[in-house]
Amino acid sequence: MSLYKAEKAIFDYLSENWTYTPIREVNKDRKKPVPYIEMYFKPGKVFALEIKHAGLRTGVIIINIFTPKGVGTQQGAAYGGKLEDLFWHKDIDGVVCENDGMLPYTSFIGIDEALQACHHQTIIPFNIIKE
């Protein structure tokens, strides 16, 4: 599977299943009023497998969550939990949302003063078998 197809499959899945906030398409949409999320697809290394010359591509999907500054961190954490549930053990057109025992998790990043927003980040490890 090409990286373009993998990223498109993940973005399409997110777009079809996420109803809580707008989704900003990076390098396409201007910044939206908070709350919103944005997704980055970050492919990593490819490892050789011993089966029919296949390879294993690893990486992470990073979803930034921006919520209003000054209302606490609970809203961002709740959105992060919903994202974790959405991708938990999912196989999305051959993109398996786990890697080496790692599953989706969310962290508080801090306050983005420029956006006047609270910033959380959900990391979704993935792997793709390349035949």
Q: How does residue 47 score in pLDDT terms, banded at 50, 70 and 90? A: confident
pLDDT at 55: 80
The CATH architecture to which 3-130 belongs is 2-Layer Sandwich (3.30)
pLDDT tens sequence across 93-125: 999 999 878 899 999 999 999 999 999 999 999
pLDDT per residue over 56-100, tens digit each?
Answer: 889 999 999 999 998 889 999 999 999 999 999 999 999 999 987
More confident residue, 31 or 123: 123
pTM tops 0.85, yes or no: yes
Instruction: Give the per-residue SS3 of the chain.
Output: CCHHHHHHHHHHHHHHHCCCCCEECCCCCCCCCCCEEEEEEEEEEEEECCCCCCEEEEEEEEEEEEEECCCCCHHHHHHHHHHHHHHCCCEECCEECCECCECCEEEEEEEECCCCEEEEEEEEEEEEEEC
